[in-house]
Amino acid sequence: MENSLDPALPLLEVRGISKSFGAVRALQEVDFTLRAGEIHALLGENGAGKSTLIKVVTGVFARDAGIVRLGGEEVAPRSAKAALQAGIATVYQEVNLLPNLSVAQNLFLDRQPMRFGIVREGEMRRRATALLADFGLDIDVAAPLGNYSVAIQHVTAIARAVDLSARVLILDEPTASLDRHEVEILFGIMRKLAGRGIGIVFVSHFLDQVYEISDRITALRNGRLVGERETASLPRLELIRMMLGRELAETTSARAATREHQAREVCASFENYGKAGYVAPFSLELRHGEVVGLAGLLGSGRTETARLVFGAERADRGQARVEGAAVRLQSPRDGVRHGFGYCPEERKTDGIVAELSVRENIVLALQAKRGLHRPLSRREQDEIARRYIKMLDIRPPDPERPVGLLSGGNQQKVLLARWLATSPRLLVLDEPTRGIDVGAHAEIIRLIRELCDDGLSLLVISSELDEIVTYSDRVVVLRDRAHVEELAGEAIDVGNILAAIAADGGGAAHEGHA
């Protein structure tokens, strides 16, 4: 492995990178510096800009502004392949190799050793075996890659990248589907490669692993750089604060202070509710006129809780009650029938029907609830669409426009309208303000408060702790797929939430899911 670099010079230098998608600014003047031979963790919640940054650096996305220098020279790869040729290799969580080809073929795809136009299978296998031995793997390289575990597929992908003379190796959530032992093997390989002078970018949301393996940490939040720190001198609480909160402003809940804590009627309750391997059993009471916030890091079980509550996922234990009566929530239809609504985090894939009009998207849940035989007349549909377009200020105010043409914020409002039209008793909002512009952001928060004042019960997930603190009457904190703490009233502040998240949970949740 050539390593002719002056160690004092940064290997990869990213300066002032900006990238927007429409009105959404995914990256704003982000800097990132990777030194040769270091393992550098890139951290941030969903939507913080990690993937966008990687894709800009590797040429998958064109950047709007900024420069990238590799070994002191400016590079501007136009594709992932060009980036690879320049020496920047990326291994994604979903390994981009061909499971039906052999390990050796995968390693030497596109550059097989040839003689007289014929692939030298023997030579290729010999070299593949030698290459993998270097990574501590002794496997049959003639067997299809798909026969091996995800961990070995990862190592193969890394070996291929390194053999293609990569100087920068970007590993995007490499440990998400590995067990503890496999993680150890991977970490061993990462240390070895770093020892050879390769710079490694490690993207992960497992903080224990970040502390175990990384030398340095860069945290992003909302498309901006929060800071770059030495791992050894960065307390965990401080790191979580960098990822989630602004400078700790001790914002206590505005609502909690102004509203009296009288006993409100329980709207829905969940006792010892959970699903094995999904989220640990929890008990939760949701009251009318109350906002319950769900806080926690990515992968802590927030979305899982939301999906169980709504009925999008079936619980295998526990009891759900609506207005005191025991109910079974087997499907979204059950949830809708009991007066629940759910705005999922992934608006585009799980929320809107892009091709259909704003009107049709708004009436969809109400129509599904009424059933086939009681169609809403066109006049009723127009009436409903007009009412919510006005109430939520959906722009442009054209009910017949395909909803896919609206901005993210307005799509979110359309989804809110879809559920409000069903007159729900409980609304579950998963990251309602993600990826929408500042103006719409404030409006959505205002709406959450208003809906609550109208007696609706709300369960809201957000990575924005300031936001959660502002509107929540109670906050449930999650860690490692379990509910670990419930804060109410005066106790709701960013500091307490961060402390609950950072409390050492033993770090046992490495296997299985991302």
Query: Among 476, 435, 177, which residue's Cα sits nearest to residue 304?
Result: 476
Q: Report CA 302 to chain centroid distance, whole Å.
A: 11
- Kindly write out the interface string for residues 21-50 of this chain, putting x where it contacts another protein by CB under 8 A and - elsewhere: ------------------------------
Instruction: Give the Cβ contact number of residue 356 at 10 Å.
Output: 15
What is the three-state SS of 412-460? HHHHHHHHHCCCCCEEEEECCCCCCCHHHHHHHHHHHHHHHHCCCEEEE
- If you ran DSSP here, which 8-state letter would residue 199 be given? E
- Kindly write out the interface string for residues 402-421 of this chain, putting x where it contacts another protein by CB under 8 A and - elsewhere: ----------------x---
C-alpha–C-alpha distance, residues 57 and 80, integer Å = 9
Q: Does 376 bind another protein (CB under 8 A)?
A: yes
Bridge partners (DSSP) listed for residue 18:
65
Q: Report CA 51 to chain centroid distance, whole Å.
A: 10
Stretch that binds another protein, among 152-160, 269-277, 331-339, 451-459 (CB under 8 A): 331-339
Q: Does 339 bind another protein (CB under 8 A)?
A: no
Pick one of 110, 372, 379, 506: the residue that binds another protein (CB under 8 A): 372
Q: Considering CB under 8 A, how many residues would be counted as binding another protein?
A: 32
Bridge partners (DSSP) listed for residue 322:
268, 325
- If you ran DSSP here, which 8-state letter would residue 406 be given? S
Q: Does 380 bind another protein (CB under 8 A)?
A: no
Reply yes or no: is the peptide bond before residue 396 cis, omega within 30 of 0: yes
Q: Does 365 bind another protein (CB under 8 A)?
A: yes
Sign of CA dihedral 310, 512, 201, 132: negative
Q: How far is the CB of 437 from another protein (least distance, A)?
A: 22
Q: Does 368 bind another protein (CB under 8 A)?
A: yes
Q: How far is the CB of 424 from another protein (least distance, A)?
A: 11
Nearer to another protein, 258 or 349 (CB): 349
Q: Does 399 bind another protein (CB under 8 A)?
A: no
Instruction: Give the Cβ contact number of residue 283 at 10 Å.
Output: 14
Stretch that binds another protein, among 40-48, 108-116, 138-146, 366-374 (CB under 8 A): 366-374
Stretch that binds another protein, among 96-104, 180-188, 273-281, 330-338 (CB under 8 A): 330-338
Pick one of 34, 57, 336, 459: the residue that binds another protein (CB under 8 A): 336
Query: Among 513, 509, 511, 507, which residue's Cα sits nearest to residue 212?
Result: 507
Phi-psi sector, 108: left (phi>0), alpha (psi -120 to 50), beta: alpha
Nearer to another protein, 246 or 314 (CB): 314
**Is residue 82 within 8 Å of 57, Cβ to Cβ?**
no
Pick one of 5, 60, 101, 354: the residue that binds another protein (CB under 8 A): 354
Residues 256-315 interacting with another protein (rule: CB under 8 A): 310, 312
Stretch that binds another protein, among 12-20, 373-381, 433-441, 504-512 (CB under 8 A): 373-381
Query: What angle (nearest 5°) sits at the alpha carbon of residue 117, between those of residues 113 and 119?
Result: 40
Q: Which residues contact 55 (CB under 8 A, 6 or more apart)?
A: 61
Pick one of 373, 379, 504, 508: the residue that binds another protein (CB under 8 A): 373
Q: Does 379 bind another protein (CB under 8 A)?
A: no
Strand 457-461 versus strand 291-295 pairing type: parallel
Q: Which residues contact 202 (CB under 8 A, 6 or more apart)?
A: 39, 40, 41, 42, 171, 174, 190, 210, 213, 214
Pick one of 229, 337, 386, 387: the residue that binds another protein (CB under 8 A): 337
Nearer to another protein, 32 or 342 (CB): 342
Q: Does 426 bind another protein (CB under 8 A)?
A: no
Place of tokens 């007289």: 116
HSE-up of residue 486 (Cα within 13 Å, Cβ side): 10
Pick one of 192, 224, 259, 369: the residue that binds another protein (CB under 8 A): 369
Nearer to another protein, 336 or 459 (CB): 336
**Is residue 216 within 8 Å of 199, Cβ to Cβ?**
no
Query: What angle (nearest 5°) sits at the alpha carbon of residue 336, between those of residues 334 and 342?
Result: 115
Nearer to another protein, 96 or 349 (CB): 349
Q: Does 453 bind another protein (CB under 8 A)?
A: no
CA-based max dimension of the chain: 85
Nearer to another protein, 47 or 341 (CB): 341
Nearer to another protein, 33 or 331 (CB): 331
Q: Does 351 bind another protein (CB under 8 A)?
A: yes
Tell me the CA distances in angstroms from 44 to 148, 149, 320, one per residue in order: 31, 28, 34
Q: Does 367 bind another protein (CB under 8 A)?
A: yes
Pick one of 191, 370, 395, 513: the residue that binds another protein (CB under 8 A): 370
Pick one of 31, 74, 94, 355: the residue that binds another protein (CB under 8 A): 355
Q: How far is the CB of 461 from another protein (least distance, A)?
A: 15
Stretch that binds another protein, among 5-13, 334-342, 442-450, 491-499 (CB under 8 A): 334-342
Query: Among 449, 182, 223, which residue's Cα sits nearest to residue 190?
Result: 182
Q: Does 166 bind another protein (CB under 8 A)?
A: no
Nearer to another protein, 31 or 355 (CB): 355
Residue ranges that bind another protein, judged by CB under 8 A: 310, 312, 332-333, 335-337, 342, 344, 349-356, 360, 363-365, 367-376, 418
